[in-house]
Amino acid sequence: MKSFFVWFIAIFITLSAAVYQRLTGPTYPKRIKIEVKGTEYKFKLLRSHGGTTNAPIELKGVDETFNAKVFYRRYPTRDTFMVADMQYGNQVLTGMLPNLPPAGKYEYYIELYKDGQTIPIVKDKHVVIRFKGEVPRYILFPHIFFMFFAMLLSNLAAIMAISKIDKYKFFAYITLICLTLGGLILGPLVQYFAFGEFWTGVPFGWDLTDNKTLIGFLGWLVAVLVIRKNNKPVFVVIAAVLLLLVYSIPHSMFGSELNPVTGEIIQGFIPLVF
């Protein structure tokens, strides 16, 4: 029974962190809710697009009486907004944003039209979308799995350490292995395919995703080195709390950004209010 509750709490904390990451990350679709003549509509606006195709901006669940246009410009610039008509089909209005090189960004907003009425969507707080290269699934999926599994095992090891369950050391070792595989081996490969660089964190840059991965890894490396010869579970708890704090930082907030003037990839910022 004790083992069941330990696993239950660890899974609950991990899933809660994953949901929080999903809701706060600036590259996940932006959820929008509007009301038109008493009817509520919910949309998801794209904030990340991989590959070499144009990015589809979609308004789903509307009927043929709606029309719309998407206004966009390179980010961060003061360029004049360009306009793309959104085409209707199968209860979806779709506007295409021209593809940009990896790390290139647009900011955009939408105007929705119905029966002579204009409904602005995110016109005051433009959505920022970032383009990236296509990451092979055989790299991306294992990366996501090992990072998620490392978080689960980290929480599990900490709870076992607090509960004075001797097996906490075993799970601490596995946590470090998963972090190494997911964060320091597969992570740079994901970064390379997406933006052309293996590592943009310290000492080469200040990419937030790379740096927080490094911090989480170092925290667990210290904890494992200490508990190898000493029974000091407090180090495991500290490492787990550190990793939880690291995971709580919105993913990709300070990430790769294409300088629209020089064409160089630099560290950029995606405001969470967008």
Mean pLDDT of all residues in 71-93: 94
Mean pLDDT of all residues in 132-150: 94
- How confident is the model over 18-45, as pLDDT tens digits? 888 777 777 889 999 998 888 899 999 9
Res 182: pLDDT: 95
Res 202: pLDDT: 77
| More confidently predicted of 39 and 81 | 81
Per-residue pLDDT for 82 more than 80?
A: yes
Res 267: pLDDT: 55
- How confident is the model over 67-78, as pLDDT tens digits? 999 999 999 899
Q: In which residue ranges of the chain is CATH 2.60.40.10 found?
A: 30-132
Per-residue pLDDT for 272 more than 50?
A: no
- How confident is the model over 100-109, as pLDDT tens digits? 999 899 999 9
Mean pLDDT of all residues in 194-208: 79
So what's the architecture of 30-132 in CATH? Sandwich (2.60)
Mean pLDDT of all residues in 119-123: 94
Q: Share the mean pLDDT of the chain.
A: 89
Which structure tokens are listed for 274?
């967008």
Strand 105-114 to strand 127-132: parallel, antiparallel, or no bridges (unpaired)? antiparallel
Mean pLDDT of all residues in 230-245: 94
Res 274: pLDDT: 40
| More confidently predicted of 166 and 242 | 242
